[in-house]
Amino acid sequence: MQRDSGAPLYEFFAGGGLARLGLEPDFACVFANDIEPAKAAAYRAAFGDDDMRQGDIWKLNAGDLPGQAALAWASFPCQDLSLAGARRGLAAPRSGAFWGFHRLIEKLTHEGRAPDVLALENVTGLLSSHGGADFTALIHALDDLGYRAGALEIDASLFTPQSRPRLFIVAARHAPAHLTSSGPIEPFHTQALRGVAARLPEGLRKHFVWWRIPAPPKRNARLVDLLDDDAAVAWQSEDQTARLLMQMSPLQRMRVEALRETGRREIGAVFRRIRVEHGKRVQRAEARFDGIAGCLRTPAGGSSRQLLLFVEGETTRSRLLSPREAARLMGAPDHYPLPASQTQALHLVGDAVCVPAVRWLSQHLLAPLAGAASQRKTA
């Protein structure tokens, strides 16, 4: 893939580099890191060998990072999320990786070459984790490093037909007035974000920033627009489709029957979920026919794979969502190389970030912040 250009970028917890796709051409990656060998291999397949350093972030030193970046991006792990505990001794080591990132920025700060802008991405559950204590701990940690921090919730459905809300925490040395608001604004400052921000300690609350970015134009792509041709995919058997329908609740099956009666071709995205009904755990198939896919997941098991249900009059067919279709739902171009293994490809994509959501954030906030910082230094 063509190498990006722009202001220097460090990319941590980089995965397959979908955040990098969104950040270019505003930023040019000069250093990337991920602990998982398969993800590092996918990153190298997409961008070459020059920038990726595979390994544990705790084993990196400031000297491993070249020069001074304008932006450091970190999509830190969300599994077992806990930030409110002791910095160096978290019981949840995967999410404790945030503190490995924090340690590097702290060392770069002491050397006078820390990035002026930080961007961290995670699940929206961070807002409610431990009653908001984890979000508070993160904002406090960034504040201690001299950054003004704020957050935005951005749903991929604004850009691609996938329901995928994510939290983006942006921190900068300075908060220019034209990039901030006096209070929360729609659609990126949700009620959950407003609530946790209101509960911050007074000192942090005064430093908290309501970043201002415009709402994007209305999305015009639907799920059907991103699907492979019918002849190019593997379909489930009639028995498998029948079992899928039987796993639906009576109300869901009634909706499918109503769609059949219209005679139109309708496509629904389906997940299997465990529900408790009458005190018993029951596996249910739940479909949505609103033209949007459910949030992509990493394939930990068969129930985590998203399916597609095609209703065409009396004919009903089903199949699994393909890795390439999943990549399209993340906004990745078709020339982006996916791992040959379906499981690895779906794991890579399910753990990634929506490319056009990152691009919108970069164009309207991250790049202007980095540009403002550069102008201050040269003034």
List, for residues 19-69, the tens digit of each pLDDT value. 999 999 999 999 999 999 999 999 999 999 999 999 999 999 999 999 999
- Assess whether 201 and 97 both reside in one domain: yes
- Classify residue 336: in a domain, yes or no: no
Per-residue pLDDT of 167-223, as tens digits, reads 999 999 999 999 999 999 999 999 999 999 999 999 999 999 999 999 999 999 999
- Assess whether 202 and 103 both reside in one domain: yes
Average pLDDT over residues 324-338: 97
CB burial class (10 A; 0-12, 13-18, 19+) of residue 45? middle
- Classify residue 338: in a domain, yes or no: no
**Domain around 310:** 229-321
- Assess whether 167 and 93 both reside in one domain: yes
- Assess whether 85 and 160 both reside in one domain: yes
Q: Write the DSSP string, 159-184.
A: TSSB--EEEEEEEES---GGGEESS-
Per-residue pLDDT of 112-132, as tens digits, reads 999 999 999 999 999 998 889
Per-residue pLDDT of 129-172, as tens digits, reads 888 988 999 999 999 999 999 999 999 999 999 999 999 999 99
Where is 315: in which H helix or E strand? strand 315-320
Cβ-contact 64, 20 below 8 angstroms: no
Cα(103)–Cα(30) distance, integer angstroms: 19
| The pLDDT of residue 77 | 84
State how beta strands 265-277 and 180-181 pair. Answer: unpaired
Cα(179)–Cα(214) distance, integer angstroms: 10
Domain-terminating residue out of 276, 305, 321 = 321
Cα(317)–Cα(135) distance, integer angstroms: 44
Looking at the structure of the chain, the number of domains it has is 2
- Assess whether 30 and 174 both reside in one domain: yes
- Assess whether 191 and 243 both reside in one domain: no
Closest-CA residue to 52 (of 33, 68, 37): 33
| The pLDDT of residue 86 | 42
The pTM of this model reads 0.92
| The pLDDT of residue 150 | 98
Cα(252)–Cα(288) distance, integer angstroms: 9
State how beta strands 52-54 and 27-34 pair. Answer: parallel
Confidence of residue 379 (pLDDT cuts 50, 70, 90): low
- Assess whether 193 and 248 both reside in one domain: no
